[in-house]
Amino acid sequence: MSSIRAFVITIFVGWLSSVICETMLWPQLGSIFAIATMGAFILKSIENLKEGSSEDAKS
């Protein structure tokens, strides 16, 4: 996934969860969801790199 797309999705998730959680009087939850989304993208890219390097080692 491109880094621009990941950035836009992270911003959108943070904004949307902040708007939704504002009604529950917990607006900071938007930041937490945005950070969790970034972490998921980072972990997925690390997994993709590991899969690519293990396939290169097999050949």
Q: Domain limits of the chain?
A: 3-54
| Residue keyed to tokens 């949307």 | 16
For residue 59, what is the DSSP state? -
pLDDT at residue 58 in the model = 59
In this prediction, residues 14-24 reach a mean pLDDT of: 91
User: What is the enclosing helix (H) or strand (E) of 54?
Assistant: helix 29-58
Q: Cα–Cα distance between 34 and 10 in angstroms, integer?
A: 5
Neighbour-count burial for 17-31, b at 16+ CB within 10 Å, e otherwise: bbeebeeeeeeeebe
> Given pLDDT bands bounded at 50, 70 and 90, which one contains residue 2?
confident
Does pLDDT of 10 surpass 60?
yes
